[in-house]
Amino acid sequence: MRHGQSFDPELEDQGCVIYPGGHEPVSSALLFRPYAFLEIGDEVVDARGDAWRFEHPWSWYSFSGLTGTPTWPLTLLARGGQPAEAKTVVAETVSGSHEAVEARWRSLTGAEPCVP
């Protein structure tokens, strides 16, 4: 997607195609990866004691049926179905919030996240 464009799951053709073997000069750089310290499917417990599964940066699944997003800090419970080392997740979420991560992403992309 180009800067300022939001992904629309209803549209079939959107964004741009990059041909790595083409003659156009292409460069890219990762500016920001939301939740780089989590992997898809990680299970965490939030500051309120609620358990959540990380689906992708804009989608969290609450095991107790809550809506919204977890309250920071987060503690990693399981990764790949196995108990996991939690220090990195706690350290990365001791301050801030999901809303702060989303706001940073918006400011860098000029777009809105696609929320299923």
**60-79 residue pLDDT tens:** 999 999 999 999 999 999 99
H or E stretch including 109? Answer: helix 98-109
Q: Rounded mean pLDDT of 9-25? A: 77
Supply the pLDDT for residue 101.
93
52-62 pLDDT, tens per residue? 999 988 899 99
- Percent of the chain whose predicted confidence (pLDDT) is above 90: 48
Q: How far is CA 109 from CA 30, 55, 58, in A?
A: 12, 21, 15
State the distance between the two ends of the chain, measured CA to CA, in whole angstroms: 18
Q: What is the pTM of this model?
A: 0.76
Which residues are CB-neighbours of 88 under 8 A, at least 6 positions away?
37, 76
**Contacts of 2 by beta carbon, 8 Å cutoff, 6+ apart:** 15, 16
Return mean pLDDT, the chain: 87
